[in-house]
Structure 1
Amino acid sequence: MARKTASQGTPATAVLAAAGVPFVAHPYAHDPSATSYGMEAAEVLGIDPARVFKTLMVEVEGKLAVGIVPVSGTLDLKAVATALGAKKAAMADPKAAERRTGYVLGGISPLGQRQPSPTVLDETAFGFETILVSGGRRGLDIELSPSDLVRLTQAVTARIGSAKG
């Protein structure tokens, strides 16, 4: 896998480069009218949506946390709460998520966040040699191994995603 290039540099790619983690940057032309950023990435890049993961900020017992699930499904809030030892979770306020991470919605990466948060990766990620997550801006996904993502984010893994009906 390739390393980052200067034109693709984000805090997420900087973290990967500093850690010596192999990754592939997948830039694409983001359509400003797209409403599902992750599904847009999967379609434009021609990659199975089960292998492209979205980073969602949740609030668990008054604190922000991260849930990473395939774009082909949805986040099970009860499951992410359970994985973090809590009873319930809710989607975080978008502005709070942006302030916490330093990224804009649609470009929130689990890597290189301004203030790291407890993170849960859906266990289906381990069904693939590599997965894609946001690279830190709209129009950039990064491909890396799920085990590297877990190591760098100190994530726990659990079944936190559910298929879309």
Structure 2
Amino acid sequence: MSEQFPDSVKRVAAPLAAAGHADAPVWLDSAARTSQQAADALGVEVGQIAKSVIFRRRSDDAAVLVVTSGDRRVDEKKVAARVGAVGRADADFVKAKTGFAIGGVSPVAHATPPVTLVDRELFRFARIWAAAGHPNAVFPLAPGDLERLTGAPVADVTASPA
């Protein structure tokens, strides 16, 4: 782990290492704020990018994290059926609840633990890539590792592909 990494990336690396995860975060030459940018930078399919989508649960203002495949769109109705009514989260809410800026929200090491769901569509791939606390930082893992690291259920949370 490079001492040069921002604190937000170090915050992600620590629980990965503590859980025995074999791969530390890596730094990309350019920011990858979208799934397509991340896929292009890594030379992988956009579906292999585990994008973190944050919603605001209406009943208690909790952050709801949906980790979904980069080539899929989250179906808010499916999420709501599992966790209660949700609404969009703005950048300030995301930063306050997760400790990360949009474009770098990791599935682990949140400032306040979110309600988390893992998209079953990620299991189409043996290896996926998730944000590591900064738009330039990512880490590889298997979908099962994501389930284990977050303790989250795997769910059908996406709209049918067009």
Q: Give me the TM-score of the superposition, normalised by structure 2.
A: 0.86
Correspondence for 1:13 = 13
1:126 equivalenced with 2:131 (yes/no): no
- Equivalent residue letter for 2:14: A
Higher strand fraction: Structure 1 or Structure 2?
1
1:100 equivalenced with 2:97 (yes/no): yes
Deviates more, 1:71-80 or 1:155-164: 155-164
Correspondence for 1:161 = 158
* Unaligned runs of at least 5 residues, structure 1: none
Deviates more, 1:138-147 or 1:4-13: 4-13
The answer to whether the Cα contact below 8 Å between 2:16 and 2:24 also exists between their aligned partners in 1 is no
4+ aligned runs moved over 4 Å, structure 1: none
- Could you tell me which of 139, 143, 150 is aligned with 2:136? 139
The answer to whether the Cα contact below 8 Å between 1:52 and 1:133 also exists between their aligned partners in 2 is yes
* Unaligned runs of at least 5 residues, structure 2: none
Quote how far apart the aligned CAs of 1:113 are.
0.8
Equivalences for residues 17-28 of structure 1 within 5 A: 17-23=17-23, 25-28=25-28
Quote how far apart the aligned CAs of 1:82 are.
1.7
1:79 equivalenced with 2:78 (yes/no): yes
- Could you tell me which of 49, 53, 66 is aligned with 1:56? 53
- Equivalent residue letter for 2:103: G
**Percent identical:** 25
Q: Would you say how many aligned residue pairs link Structure 1 and Structure 2?
A: 157
Quote how far apart the aligned CAs of 1:29 are.
2.1
- Equivalent residue letter for 1:104: A
SS in 2 for 1:151: helix
Q: Deviations over 1:50-73 (max 9, x none)?
A: 111110110123321101111212
Measure the CA separation in 2 of the matches of 1:83 and 1:127: 22
